[in-house]
Every structure is written in structure tokens, then in C-alpha cells.
Chain A
Amino acid sequence: MVEAILINGLVLGGMYAILAVGFALVFGVAKILNMAHTAFYMVGAFLILIMTIMLGFPSLPSIVLAIAIMGITGSVIYKLFLDRVKEHPVAVMIISVGVAILFQEVLLIGFGGHFRGIDPFVRGFVEIAGIRATYQQVIAIATSLVALVAIRLLLSKTRVGNAIRAVAEDREIANVMGIDVSRMCVITMGISAVLATVAGAVVAPIFMVHPLMWMHPLTIVLAAVVLGGLGSIKGSILGAFILGFAETAVVFLVPMGAFLRGAVGLSVMVVVLLLRPEGLFGVVFEEERL
């Protein structure tokens, strides 16, 4: 039981972490709450489903292609729908929820409301220190970690990463550094959609793929980001793992716990907001008074 919670918690936490990082990144840089974020994850998973099962492509190229397509889609959606309204938070919310529902409806028309599985990319299982995990789970955990390290390196080591952080901190001054703020937002949205697709690719073979799969992760991602402190990437990763483990523990330990999964994230979010509104890592830099 403990092993099962550990393995599943890591898989789930890793997936939530990738999703939450992408969401937090867009919030930090473009200052928008992108409610369509987990819809990218869903569409990414569907693209992989289409390519591997329906078209019979090998899995790795399908994943790469799906990631590329979604990266571009994310950027285009931002440029077309969100960039021009990004100073109006309510409009952003409505439009991004609209985009998510658009994806959902298109997929419902195309595929119906069925739950579909994708075959594991690698079969079999491995035993590490007496804990049994399928290869697919090991791959999922490893991929999450690699993705998180990669995004960290991208942000801290590269020229564009540095510019993205600059925009996140002070948009106005970033302008004076010669940084095209709007372009950085487009790039960030692309990165965020890429991360969402990685999450989709990682878990598609473990969980089911269906046109409503974006809703549950969205509440969890919102909760993780609130838990960690809005805008803090480190915090949202921690928040995601906490929620991943909490959810897994509830599923395994509480009778009929599987029905309570969704409640866990929201309860955590409410409690955190009540006790520590700035979240675990949320720092409020006091602004200088003039």
C-alpha cells in the first residue's frame, strides 16, 4: 500500500508539477490566468492518441510532433485571442475558458465521450528496492523530473530565459532593456503549452484519454499554484507534489476515495487561502513608497 501510494503519488505529482509550472510561468510573465492550460494537455494527449493508435505512427516521433504542434498552437492562441485583452482579467478568463470548451466540444464531436487508453510505450515492470513499478510509471516520473530541470536551465542559463524572467519581474523596465515584452509572452505561452503536452504524453498511457480530462487537473493546478504562492515556480512544484500525494493517499486510504479526488485539491486551496493567503512561497516584496 505504501509503495503504491509512493509510486502513484510521484507520477501524479510529477504530472501536476509540469502543468503547474507552465501555468505559473504564463501567470508570472503575461500576468494572465490561462484557464485553457490543461486543455492543451488534453489536446496533446489526443494528438498522441490519434497518431499512435489511429495512424499507427511509432510513439516517440508522435510525441515529438504533438509537442511541436501544441507549442505553436499555444503561441497562436495567445497571439490571436489573449494578447489584446490581457489587461482585462475577466475577459482573459472568459476567453480562455471558451477556448478550453471549444477544444472539448470539438473532441466530443470527433471522438464521442468515450474513455480511451493508449498502450504503454514500454511494457513490463521493474523492482527498485522491493518496490514494484511499471516501466511506464518510471518513465513518467523520470520525464517529469527531466522536464522540470530543463525548464529551470532554460530560465536561468539562456538569453531568452533571462529576458523572460526580466519581463516577469518588471514588464515596463524590460522594455527599456530592448526586450519585446509581447514576443516574450508569446514564447512563454508556447513553452507552457509544450510543458502541458509533455504532461499529456507522460500520463496518457497510464490514465484514460477523454474530452473532459482537462477539468480535474485544472482545479488541481489552480490549487497547486495557490498553495505554492502565485507566481512562485518553486512553490507551484512543491504544491503540485503535495496535492499529488494527498490525492493518491485519499484514493488508497479512504473508502470510495476515488470519488473524493477532486475535493482534495479544492479543500487544500480553501484552507491555504484562509490561513496563509500568500501561499507557501509567496513573497510580497513591499513596494517602496515615493
Chain B
Amino acid sequence: MYLEIKDLTVLYDRAMVLNGVSLTVGKGEFVSLVGPNGAGKTTLLRAIAGLVKWEKDTLKGTRAGRITLEGSVKFDGEEVTNLPAHEIVRRGLILCPERGRPFREMTVLDNLRAGAFGCKDKKVVKENLERVYHLFPRLKERENQISGTLSGGERFMLTIGRAMMSQPKLFMIDEPSVGLAPKVKEDLFARVKEIYEQGSTILMTEQDVSFAFDLAGRNYVISKGHLVGEGTAEDLLADESLRKTYLGL
């Protein structure tokens, strides 16, 4: 398996956010992770990307730093559990964070350049930039605009583009649709599909179950830090109790 997570447990102080989560993503797969607010979706992606560990190390000795992190994350056959976040990025495991979080006081172009930090070959950076601009022509128009002034949809394009500049092998997208208008949402998911079809592996969390199930080949349902279901959209929808309790469909 490309990405293999075993018994991942995360506690913030004494609040258990993830409780022994195990999941896998195969190469070339599109996997979605759905579940209600506060289920632990974001924390799971943050833990995989090494941000929970970073938070724990950085805040060591403060109240907010009492974080427990157990379990193992294997990517492409290599144990990455204890690697620092910036090293994990170098191996091609890229997170596009919740709400995008662009560097708001920097221009669109500078944001994209920040995404290309790990890539020292200027030619490759330029190629990637072309690719991003091809996918999101709007970003080229706004190249020199301060990114704090972008609209919600543009901001998400920017952060997807920024993550693409880091040359992802496995692309983790955290709740792309939050706060977007339905029309923008549709367009956005079309782009995500395009990126997938160009040959990426994607692990995406999403609250909008119908969109997620449309796109993904396999899905996990998470609630209160536990995985409660796994399978294709048909399998999950066939299970009446799961559908009613967790998916709200």
C-alpha cells in the first residue's frame, strides 16, 4: 500500500481526537474521508502531514503542548511517523490545509513560489507554474494581487495550486468545499477531478458527502475519532444504519 496508517491515536491533553485509526490508500486511488464536524478528519490529515508532531515539539512545555501521538504512518514503504513535517513534504506527501490558508499578505505568485520551496531546479518550477496557471487561468490574471484580497473560490484555487507546486505524489485535501457557494463548489470539484485524472493519488476529507462519494473510488466514514465504515459509495449507502446515523442521506 502507498499510504498505510496503523492505530493512529491523538490526544490533546486528555481529549481523545483520534482513537486507533487505521486506513490505507493505494497508488492512484482517490479516497475520501467523510464524517461530521469534530470527527477528527482534519486532525488525521494533520497527523499524517507531521503537523501534530510539529505542534507537540514546538509547544513543548506549554499547556497547549500536552499532545499524545501514537501509531504509525508509512508512506511508499518508508516509516514517516517521526519525521519532521518539512521532511515529509519532501517525500511527496502534501497537505492542502483546511480553509486553504494562503499567506495572505503575500502576492499570488509569491504564494506559489513558497509552495515550490523544496524544488531548486528553476526549470521544473517554471513548468509546474505553467501547469498550475493552465489549470487555474484566474491565478495568472491575479498573479500580483495580495492573496488576502482573493475571493473564497480563488483562495482555494491558489492553495491547491500552491500545493501542486510542491510536486505531490499523494495529495491530501482538507475540506475543500467549506464556505463556498454551490456553483463555485461544483467548479472546484471538477478541477480536483482533473488533477486526479492527470495521475495523482488523492486523500480528501469532506463534509459534503454527495460530492465526496461522486469523486472517490473508496470512502472511509469517521465519527468521534473512530472509523465506523469503509467501502465504495454503493456499499456505504446500502448500509441503512450507517447511512442514517453518519451520512445524513
Q: What residues make up the interface of A, taking CB atoms closer than 8 Å to B?
A: 87-88, 156, 159, 162-163, 165-166, 169-181, 285, 288
Q: In the complex, which of the residues A87, A159, A173, A181 contacts B103, with contact meaning CB atoms closer than 8 Å?
A: A173
CA distance A163 to B103 in the complex (A): 11
CA distance A163 to B113 in the complex (A): 9
CB contacts (< 8 Å) of B90 on chain A: these are 178
The 3 closest A-B pairs by CB, nearest first: A178-B118, A178-B89, A175-B85
Would A87 and B114 be within 8 Å (CB), given that A175-B85, A176-B97, A180-B84 are in contact? no
Q: What residues make up the interface of B, taking CB atoms closer than 8 Å to A?
A: 49-51, 54-55, 58-62, 65, 84-86, 89-90, 94-95, 97, 99, 101, 103-106, 110, 113-115, 117-118, 120, 148, 162-163, 166
CA distance A173 to B94 in the complex (A): 11
CB contacts (< 8 Å) of A180 on chain B: these are 84, 86
| A181 and B86 contacting across the interface, CB-CB below 8 Å | yes
CB contacts (< 8 Å) of B49 on chain A: these are 175-176
Q: In the complex, which of the residues A163, A175, A285 contacts B50, with contact meaning CB atoms closer than 8 Å?
A: A175
Task: Supply 26 A–B pairs (Cβ within 8 Å), ascending by A.
Answer: A87-B62, A87-B65, A88-B61, A88-B62, A159-B117, A159-B120, A162-B110, A162-B117, A165-B103, A165-B106, A165-B110, A165-B114, A166-B114, A169-B105, A173-B103, A174-B114, A175-B54, A176-B95, A176-B97, A177-B115, A177-B117, A177-B118, A178-B117, A179-B86, A180-B86, A181-B86
CB contacts (< 8 Å) of A177 on chain B: these are 86, 89, 114-115, 117-118, 162, 166
CA distance A192 to B85 in the complex (A): 26
What number of A-B contacts does a CB cutoff of 8 Å give?
83
| B103 and A169 contacting across the interface, CB-CB below 8 Å | yes
CA distance A175 to B55 in the complex (A): 11
Q: In the complex, which of the residues A163, A170, A285 contacts B117, with contact meaning CB atoms closer than 8 Å?
A: A163
Q: How distant is A271 from chain B, measured CB to nearest CB, in Å?
A: 27
Q: How distant is B38 from chain A, measured CB to nearest CB, in Å?
A: 11
CA distance A62 to B60 in the complex (A): 42
| A176 and B117 contacting across the interface, CB-CB below 8 Å | no
| B113 and A162 contacting across the interface, CB-CB below 8 Å | yes
Q: How distant is A262 from chain B, measured CB to nearest CB, in Å?
A: 34
Q: How distant is B113 from chain A, measured CB to nearest CB, in Å?
A: 5
CB contacts (< 8 Å) of A174 on chain B: these are 114
